Chain A
Amino acid sequence: MPTIAAKILSEKAGIGRAANAGEIVECEVDYVMVNDITGVPAFEVFQELGNANEMRTEKVVVIQDHYVPNKDVESAEQARALRSYARRYQIEDYYEIGRGGICHQVMIEEGFVAPGRLIIGADSHTCSYGALGAFSTGVGSTEAAAAMATGRLWFKVPETQKFVINGELRRYVMGKDIILHIIGEIGVSGSLYKAQEFYGTAIENLSLSDRITISNMAVEAGAKAGIIPPDEKVFDFLRGRVRGEYRAVYADGNEEDYEEVVEYDAAAIVPTVAKPFSPDNTVPASELDVLIDQAYLGSCTNGRIEDLRVAAELLKGRKVNPAVRMIVVPASEKVFQQAIEEGLITIFLEAGAFVCGPTCGACLGGHMGVLAQGERCISTTNRNFIGRMGHKDSEVYLANPAVVAASALNGRITDPTGF
């Protein structure tokens, strides 16, 4: 079973052989990440374990990102509790607001993520790090606590599906469209209990940012991990950034090692939208004629500098439709800073968009852009479940940054190809 997932898990289990799919192995994890929602319950559970357990603080990363800046007294109390746990246990890798950003972007930017590593996070989009050749997956607070205490966690070695995307992508077709297209084909349970690996010339030609979008949404098909074999783009990104040593892990390249191999023609993928209330409810953007109230550009899925550049290119010198509120949220303080330096923030402001610092807020319906009853939002985020961004009768349409920008200008969902 020498897929990347099986190899990393086998190596981290130290069993000296390749584990088989279905086998349960206990692995040493490289990092455990928690945020302001999942972190406090994790520390509480850790305390329940009693004094006998020292915390493996060198593996723990704590990031305030979901309800930041705090949305109400309860979330402020929760953030304070997390802050005080981080102090009590002397967590060095603690990211306060203003000095970090959305957890997955921070994990990648700050060099925690590298090829061959095994990283768990108490957030389902932890699978994002597969784009750098790591095995990373979301866990609950209790498991995070167990790993904080022992540095280890059990895993069932998953079967792996191989997705091969060859050919050239059309203009304004991005990583988001590739993953929405795949989820639309296989469904939201199409990868349940499995790992995904992505290959092909279209993947090789993608920016790291677009690859992160693909791995980020692996979980929306139920996958445990979404892994892309690391190449020079990854190694270049990590130079001068990565913490410690790393070793890239590759699959053996035998098709029979995979549960299935599915091929796609990149040229046939169009700007794609997932309609409410499921990420697999996909249609070409060009087939929709839907009026929108809000356009959201941001999140761990599509809040990177590359995403902001694409949207700014469309918005430059134009105005957001008067009926639309556009919200732009860079994924981290570093992305924010770079967007200022490149003049992108000025473009957004001049177009009439609202811009704020990094937060998960609106993506999960917390704050900073929740929807009223009946409102519709075109969004670069990852989920369009019932009531995800606000009222239970509001609607979220998922799309890439170019579709969001074009739709913001037109006031209705728009394929950017004609711009």
Chain B
Amino acid sequence: MRIWKFGDNVDTDQIIPADYLTTGDAKKLAAHAFAKVRPEFAKEVKQGDIIVAGENFGCGSSREHAPRALLGAGVRCVIAKSFARIFFRNSINIGLPLIEADVSDRIEEGDEIEIRFEDGVITNHTKRAEYQFTPLPEFMQRLLQSGGLINYIKRMK
């Protein structure tokens, strides 16, 4: 598990540049995640890695390709101080967990962390610290547990 840290206002053009928007396939998109601003990301990211960022993560374009690229890259969840609203909805709808928590100053790349989603607790084993967050509303947790909106709608039938 690796932590990838980003700053404030990471826009969806950074997450997946427009050059690659000719497919909706998560794996294909993942090969170009952060291609312009952090080219090593797509090569080095592993299943279970976590992104930690500041304010307004995912601002800009409504392209669902952005959370799809992260999901395809194996990102387990994104922790940010706040999220842009379309990115937030897109992520939950496709089953990418998000945590709204102001911990960017307290988690370093290289830290070993553990997340208990239902309890709203992030444990930083490296720093021997715990951070609380407000768990997602129950409705959104159900969406995530179903694997996103489509599986949720299918189950409801």
A and B assemble together: yes
Cross-chain contact B86 with A139 (CB below 8 angstroms) = yes
Q: Which of these, A67, A72, A74, contacts B23 with CB under 8 Å?
A: A74
In the assembled complex, which residues on chain A have CB atoms less than 8 Å from the CB atom of B89? 139-140, 143
Interface string of A126-164 (1 = CB under 8 A from B): 100000000001111111011001100000000000000
**Residue A111 CB within 8 A of the other chain:** no
Cross-chain contact B56 with A222 (CB below 8 angstroms) = yes
A300 to chain B, nearest CB (A): 12
Cross-chain contact B85 with A44 (CB below 8 angstroms) = no
In the assembled complex, which residues on chain A have CB atoms less than 8 Å from the CB atom of B14? 385-387
In the assembled complex, which residues on chain B have CB atoms less than 8 Å from the CB atom of A72? 22
Cross-chain contact A189 with B85 (CB below 8 angstroms) = no
Q: Tell me the bound Cα distance from A44 to B148 in angstroms.
A: 15
**Residue A48 CB within 8 A of the other chain:** yes
Contact residues of A: prevailing secondary structure = loop
A74 to chain B, nearest CB (A): 4
Cross-chain contact B60 with A124 (CB below 8 angstroms) = yes
Q: Tell me the bound Cα distance from A208 to B60 in angstroms.
A: 24
Of the 9-residue stretches A33-41, A83-91, A259-267, A309-317, which lies at the interface with chain B?
A: A33-41
Given that A52-B157, A142-B148, A142-B150 are contacting pairs, would A78 and B64 also be in contact in the complex, using a CB cutoff of 8 Å?
Answer: no
Q: Which of these, B59, B85, B157, contacts A193 with CB under 8 Å?
A: B85
Cross-chain contact B86 with A140 (CB below 8 angstroms) = yes
A129 to chain B, nearest CB (A): 14
Mark out the residues of chain B between 8 and 29 whose CB falls within 8 Å of any chain A CB in the assembled complex. 9, 11, 13-14, 17-19, 21-24
**Residue A318 CB within 8 A of the other chain:** no
A218 to chain B, nearest CB (A): 12
A64 to chain B, nearest CB (A): 13
B115 to chain A, nearest CB (A): 23
**Residue A366 CB within 8 A of the other chain:** yes
Q: Tell me the bound Cα distance from A114 to B37 in angstroms.
A: 40
Cross-chain contact A189 with B94 (CB below 8 angstroms) = no
**Residue A65 CB within 8 A of the other chain:** no
Specify which of A24, A52, A124, A386 lies most central, judged by the most chain B CB atoms within 10 Å of its CB.
A124
Q: Tell me the bound Cα distance from A77 to B153 in angstroms.
A: 30
Cross-chain contact B64 with A142 (CB below 8 angstroms) = yes
Specify which of A142, A192, A366 lies most central, judged by the most chain B CB atoms within 10 Å of its CB.
A142
Cross-chain contact A188 with B59 (CB below 8 angstroms) = yes
Interface string of A12-44 (1 = CB under 8 A from B): 000000000000100000000000011011001
Mark out the residues of chain A between 109 and 127 whose CB falls within 8 Å of any chain B CB in the assembled complex. 122-124, 126
Given that A140-B90, A142-B64, A364-B18 are contacting pairs, would A224 and B13 also be in contact in the complex, using a CB cutoff of 8 Å?
Answer: no
Cross-chain contact B19 with A366 (CB below 8 angstroms) = yes
Q: Which of these, A140, A193, A383, contacts B13 with CB under 8 Å?
A: A383
Given that A38-B64, A366-B18 are contacting pairs, would A222 and B59 also be in contact in the complex, using a CB cutoff of 8 Å?
Answer: yes
Q: Tell me the bound Cα distance from A364 to B67 in angstroms.
A: 18
In the assembled complex, which residues on chain A have CB atoms less than 8 Å from the CB atom of B86? 124, 137-140, 219
A61 to chain B, nearest CB (A): 15
The total of Cβ contacts below 8 Å across the A-B interface reads 127
Task: Tell me the nearest residue of chain A to B85, going by C-beta.
Answer: A193
Cross-chain contact B22 with A75 (CB below 8 angstroms) = yes
In the assembled complex, which residues on chain A have CB atoms less than 8 Å from the CB atom of B65? 37, 41
Interface string of A369-387 (1 = CB under 8 A from B): 0000000000000010111
Cross-chain contact B150 with A124 (CB below 8 angstroms) = no
**Residue B149 CB within 8 A of the other chain:** yes
A43 to chain B, nearest CB (A): 10
Cross-chain contact A142 with B59 (CB below 8 angstroms) = no
Given that A140-B62, A142-B90, A386-B36 are contacting pairs, would A37 and B21 also be in contact in the complex, using a CB cutoff of 8 Å?
Answer: yes
Cross-chain contact B18 with A140 (CB below 8 angstroms) = no
Q: Which of these, B18, B56, B149, contacts A188 with CB under 8 Å?
A: B56
Mark out the residues of chain A between 237 and 253 whose CB falls within 8 Å of any chain B CB in the assembled complex. none
Q: Tell me the bound Cα distance from A122 to B64 in angstroms.
A: 9
A153 to chain B, nearest CB (A): 10
**B contact set with A: CB distance below 8 Å:** 9, 11, 13-14, 17-19, 21-24, 36-37, 55-56, 59-65, 67-68, 82, 84-86, 89-90, 93-94, 139, 148-150, 153-154, 157
Please list 29 pairs of residues, one from A and one from B, whose beta carbons are closer than 8 Å in the complex, sorted by A's number: A48-B150, A49-B150, A50-B154, A52-B157, A66-B21, A72-B22, A74-B22, A124-B62, A140-B63, A140-B94, A141-B24, A141-B64, A142-B150, A143-B89, A143-B93, A146-B93, A146-B149, A146-B153, A150-B153, A189-B82, A192-B84, A222-B56, A222-B85, A365-B18, A383-B11, A383-B60, A386-B11, A386-B37, A387-B14
Ordered nearest first, which 5 A-B pairs have the shortest CB separation?
Answer: A41-B24, A140-B64, A140-B90, A74-B22, A138-B62
